[in-house]
Structure 1
């Protein structure tokens, strides 16, 4: 069945899962979700120009433009596995608790100076996004960078079985998705599934020697490529943090980046260690790193009137929240303001971690603290003089009537809180 489906894919090498974005001549996969069944939209996909509709509901099949399978999601994943088996290029698998997408983008800009690369689009890093990334690899591509996300044990193993990375990196291990993983030990087990795959296939692994957990994992490998400390496979240094990071590379050259936050140093070092392995010149790496500008609410710097905003509202967990606040404390600004929202998926640690956030804020002493969401009510109890709002609407109304001026403002929360909408009210 997969061989026949693969022939259709070779004839029409573009895959689509959304009838709102049908490309002419594409193969449409009728996936199911909690609140939808795309089998019902297969005819619409064909009407809009799809060449084939892969479905698992026999009742919707009308002609030979429908390809009936037992399970559409499994067919998508199996098709990606089959396509991966035909590819003879390096595939770099990337996971971690924080910094995955930024690191992936940095690796891509570095490697693309020498190779024709393909990388995960945005953060499409789950059981659907990874197959779509693999299926986007064309014959002309020379290298792929595949981001893999997870919120429970076993998911990285599944994604590794699809992407079959030949090379791999874990950015870090932290307190992310604790609810799904069942605690930090579950996070370690889950993320290490990438390295288990690489051990089995005799792959290449880069390991950040700054991380105790990752350094322990290095003992499983015969020759892990360590970075960024002196004496490691690749060495670089952080020499400045305000307002953007300044890095000294292995050759001693200074690179002025457009990235803020010490936490981004490890992401930069990862990209340069991988660039060295694939023989990208130091000059090309330096230019690529210097020219990279973060987008999509990941440590994004926005100038708004007399204020400078650090928009870091794509996601948040206890480790990334603490790192963002540490970065703010290192900046030289007349006034420092924080606008923080809930950290999601913390399970039984939720109250403890939001209370601890209050302790961090008390130690840091920003000029003004705004808190928005359900769980940060506990943070508000810890931080005297903080402003609390249970939703964005109340927060935005307050900001309109009490405008902030001449301030450095950090905005950070889990994605579902939607704090990026606050920017237009500053």
Structure 2
């Protein structure tokens, strides 16, 4: 534990106010993730759009008393707080954790590269957890903020640390090297991922190599030509650089791979090391896993582990859960499945995700023993109990002998219902689905407890066609567009049409958590569903109907009013309900000619709106007809000019400020002068933009998957499907897959217009698309097997391509996915 005085000394800052000794054990960067106020140090980061100093007052009221700031603070408002003044809070965070790292003299493994960092880190943990007390990066915490939070976890009981580091532009690795200061380095591989900020691949390699400037050893693969050349140059330039440990399939190396043999579910790898022939077997067959395993093998050999121990542990490597999954559960529950690894760091992340979910009042955690923590059980489970208490958990189901022995720590928590079981089998034997109703359930366990079995009991049985929604990608896309906005421009997120097919409260919860200013839905019932699911932020209803006015008033939704008729009807409803200053949004027609008041309506509109205090105009807005089309830029500008005139006249007459907005996703980037007070982000949030340069910056959000239900061998002349529309011209193999037009895969994709991905290869749709299934020609994919995953659209087969095949637009494809297709939400 540290205190304000010792931290100030390390930072060489200015201790503006010291109010006594206060232990500091936690770094807080996000005010929404406060768990331990008494021992937290808040470091407000400053960006172009957000200055976190604004949250100091809120956190002080919640019990935080330690702050590092880069701006003047009215100290008289916070008489019980310690304040340290620095020039830059992000730099101070880096300095603080670098100083913390210097307090430890244990082996530290630093991992960088284009791909495989997290897998290598987690596999090394699996391979070495019996030998060392290990601290490691939670999930994929490898950024300028993630790395400090990872390294801050180092404690005296740790015997080995494993941290990963990633960069997106030159100059970043210098900071991370000082924080991690690895004694052992692993460079996994090099590829094109995250290359936008670099001149070329060699610049990217050289920047990443900075991580290993003071390492004792660097493990890498010689088979990447550019990587090998850069490593050798780096080694020659460094007078006291790291020793090199190389492996290769092609040439001489410290670990020379001489044979790999892929079996049904395993790969056997043979190599020579120090003149001896060695073997390992791993339970994976894909190339990425083989490469990651060899990196781990090299590290184990460097550490001097016995080959028979290496062999035994390699054969037991398990899949790494790279994400938290949110699924529909039994009895109207939501289930968060994170059932493959467990430590305090990953538990904290999972509880953060649980906190974002507002759809149910009851929050349940199913938790196993935490293994290999290095702490006494009493200390460990007291910390776990504190986490549950601070996160407001209502029910705990604890499984494992260790956690059961410490049940008193949990039974003392007011309002927490707890049950204890010694084994997973014991819980399953007593499982009663009726015990779980309308709650959000986090399933979090060490892999040996096989909590995936519990997940299967709790999750609603799903059709094998699913739509995966990447919540991390949505949040990153939103942040990207926010980075393009002027500092004071607000953001309205469009969640109409079931969030473009992606979901309702699942998406809204995420957007509310990330501080989006407004949500917009098409109809009042969509807004009511969000309110019932705990969404409290402002919601605009774009198509209010008189029959829905009562629900709008009851659930505090904000209607779009676009004509004198609907305006008068709504005013009458508000009057009848005895309300005043009810928030509304005024729609102006500047050229779309769909809905909205036109210029000649403005005098009468002003007269009505200023005749009393029944309504309060929250915003005035309009729709651009063709903002994505360069050929229509003159018309877009014309719409903008007309909107300026109409909205200015309206606002002047109202006598108070209103929010003005006209920009959609395309206009945010193509017409920045039209950003005004707020923009409306729609399809761009879901990873689709008409501009190629913007599209390159967005992440894929949605992946529609199905499976092969049956393979058939056909002779020439045999036909497929209704109407016999496809005939085999040669001996052929067809695959029947579990998706049809009732799922939203339209008949237009039939007769070879559409294609799907199987084992990385495109397979054309043959015959007509049926209600629940369709057929593919997989003759050219001999490795295809029944049960194989089939990608309908996703990262490697963009939804834009499907829209082109269907002579449609991505909006139609996404919003057309049937509600019977189960959505699986995940956070990386």
TM-score (norm 1): 0.70
How big is each residue's C-alpha offset from its partner over 1:101-138, in whole Å with a ceiling of 9 and x where there is no partner? 11221122223231111111111211111111121111
Does 2:228 match 1:215?
Answer: yes
1:398–1:378: structure 2 CA closer, same or farther, 3 Å change rule?
Answer: closer
**Would you tell me which structure has more strand in proportion to its own residues?**
2
> Residue 254 of structure 2: which of 233, 241, 249 is its match?
233
Instruction: Summarize the alignment of residues 250-329 of structure 1 with structure 2, pairs less than 5 Å apart.
Output: 254-257=280-283, 259=284, 261-289=286-314, 290-297=316-323, 307=464
Equivalence for 1:85: 102
Once the two structures are TM-superposed, the CA of residue 240 in structure 1 deviates from its matched residue by 1.9
1:82–1:282: structure 2 CA closer, same or farther, 3 Å change rule?
Answer: same
Give the whole-Å Cα distance in 2 for the aligned partners of 1:310 and 1:372: 10
SS in 1 for 2:96: helix
Instruction: Summarize the alignment of residues 352-391 of structure 1 with structure 2, pairs less than 5 Å apart.
Output: 364-366=761-763, 367=776, 370-371=792-793, 376=798, 390=810
Equivalence for 1:177: 194
Once the two structures are TM-superposed, the CA of residue 266 in structure 1 deviates from its matched residue by 0.9
SS in 2 for 1:86: coil
SS in 1 for 2:125: helix
How big is each residue's C-alpha offset from its partner over 1:74-96, in whole Å with a ceiling of 9 and x where there is no partner? 11111111122222122222111
Equivalence for 1:21: 33
Structure ranking higher on relative contact order (CA contacts 8 Å, 6+ apart): 1
**Would you tell me which structure has more helix in proportion to its own residues?**
1
1:166–1:333: structure 2 CA closer, same or farther, 3 Å change rule?
Answer: farther
Give the whole-Å Cα distance in 2 for the aligned partners of 1:134 and 1:99: 20
Does 2:65 match 1:65?
Answer: no
Once the two structures are TM-superposed, the CA of residue 268 in structure 1 deviates from its matched residue by 1.3
SS in 2 for 1:275: helix
Equivalence for 1:142: 159
Does 2:67 match 1:53?
Answer: yes
1:210–1:130: structure 2 CA closer, same or farther, 3 Å change rule?
Answer: same
Is the contact between residue 93 and residue 148 of structure 1 (CA under 8 Å) also seen in structure 2?
A: yes
How big is each residue's C-alpha offset from its partner over 1:234-268, in whole Å with a ceiling of 9 and x where there is no partner? 356542265x44243667555342x5621121111
Is the contact between residue 29 and residue 72 of structure 1 (CA under 8 Å) also seen in structure 2?
A: yes
Give the whole-Å Cα distance in 1 for the aligned partners of 2:181 and 2:23: 24
How big is each residue's C-alpha offset from its partner over 1:193-221, in whole Å with a ceiling of 9 and x where there is no partner? 343453x4263100113322222234233
Give the whole-Å Cα distance in 2 for the aligned partners of 1:390 and 1:373: 14
Give the whole-Å Cα distance in 2 for the aligned partners of 1:265 and 1:386: 39
1:305–1:88: structure 2 CA closer, same or farther, 3 Å change rule?
Answer: same
Equivalence for 1:394: 813
1:373–1:193: structure 2 CA closer, same or farther, 3 Å change rule?
Answer: closer
Give the whole-Å Cα distance in 2 for the aligned partners of 1:225 and 1:105: 21
278-287 vs 64-73, which moves further:
278-287
Name the count of aligned residue pairs. Answer: 369
Equivalence for 2:551: none
Give the whole-Å Cα distance in 2 for the aligned partners of 1:92 and 1:309: 38
Give the whole-Å Cα distance in 1 for the aligned partners of 2:225 and 2:131: 33
How big is each residue's C-alpha offset from its partner over 1:324-368, in whole Å with a ceiling of 9 and x where there is no partner? xxxxxxx9984498x9xxxxxxxxxxxxxxxxxx9x999933347
SS in 2 for 1:224: strand
Give the whole-Å Cα distance in 2 for the aligned partners of 1:94 and 1:312: 28
1:153–1:138: structure 2 CA closer, same or farther, 3 Å change rule?
Answer: same
Give the whole-Å Cα distance in 2 for the aligned partners of 1:132 and 1:114: 25
Equivalence for 1:410: none
Instruction: Summarize the alignment of residues 154-165 of structure 1 with structure 2, pairs less than 5 Å apart.
Output: 154-165=171-182
Is the contact between residue 226 and residue 232 of structure 1 (CA under 8 Å) also seen in structure 2?
A: yes
Is the contact between residue 136 and residue 161 of structure 2 (CA under 8 Å) also seen in structure 1?
A: yes
Looking at CA atoms only, which structure, 1 or 2, has the larger radius of gyration? 2
Is the contact between residue 29 and residue 55 of structure 1 (CA under 8 Å) also seen in structure 2?
A: yes
Equivalence for 2:8: 4
| Unpaired runs of at least 5, structure 1 | 319-330, 340-357, 405-418
Does 2:244 match 1:224?
Answer: yes
Once the two structures are TM-superposed, the CA of residue 420 in structure 1 deviates from its matched residue by 5.8
SS in 2 for 1:121: coil
RMSD: 4.6
Equivalence for 2:267: 246
Give the whole-Å Cα distance in 2 for the aligned partners of 1:388 and 1:100: 39
Give the whole-Å Cα distance in 2 for the aligned partners of 1:90 and 1:256: 26
1:4–1:214: structure 2 CA closer, same or farther, 3 Å change rule?
Answer: same
| Unpaired runs of at least 5, structure 2 | 12-19, 237-242, 272-276, 325-339, 341-451, 474-686, 688-695, 697-707, 712-734, 740-754, 764-775, 777-789
TM-score (norm 2): 0.38
Give the whole-Å Cα distance in 2 for the aligned partners of 1:47 and 1:260: 54
Is the contact between residue 219 and residue 246 of structure 2 (CA under 8 Å) also seen in structure 1?
A: yes
How big is each residue's C-alpha offset from its partner over 1:260-303, in whole Å with a ceiling of 9 and x where there is no partner? 621121111111211221234445444544242221259x9999
Does 2:107 match 1:95?
Answer: no
Is the contact between residue 94 and residue 175 of structure 2 (CA under 8 Å) also seen in structure 1?
A: no
Is the contact between residue 16 and residue 29 of structure 1 (CA under 8 Å) also seen in structure 2?
A: yes
